[in-house]
């Protein structure tokens, strides 16, 4: 049972990681227009966290946060800078 639980947790973690690892300028599906997420890539916002949104064609910068881990998602349509 431990192996199954660990596998499920790993699969979920990978799914979440893929969902938030989108970078500004990358394409996004039209059915995700308005969805938001958090990221912190070195090439955007000096490596600090930021909120990105899908405009129906690509991911765009929505808001810059002040620290590398200062972003929190609250569902697919809401994200906030925490610092």
Q: What is the pLDDT of residues 50-61, one digit of tens each?
A: 999 999 999 999
| pLDDT tens per residue, range 3-32 | 454 443 333 333 333 444 568 999 999 999
Torsion sign over Cα 47, 35, 75, 17: negative
Residue 80, SS3 per DSSP = strand
Total number of domains in the chain: 1
Cα dist from 48 to 12, 43, 51, 59, 72, whole Å: 25, 10, 10, 17, 13
Q: What is the number of alpha carbons within 13 Å of residue 63 lying toward its C-beta? A: 17
Domain of 46?
A: 2-81
């Amino acid at each position: 049972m431990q192996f199954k639980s660990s596998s499920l947790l790993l699969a979920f973690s990978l799914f979440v990681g893929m969902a938030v690892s989108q970078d500004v300028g990358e394409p996004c599906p039209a059915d995700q227009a308005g969805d938001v997420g958090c990221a912190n890539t070195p090439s955007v916002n000096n490596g600090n966290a930021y909120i990105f949104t899908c405009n129906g064609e690509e991911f765009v910068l929505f808001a810059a946060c002040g620290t590398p881990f200062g972003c929190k998602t609250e569902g697919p349509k809401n994200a906030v800078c925490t610092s």
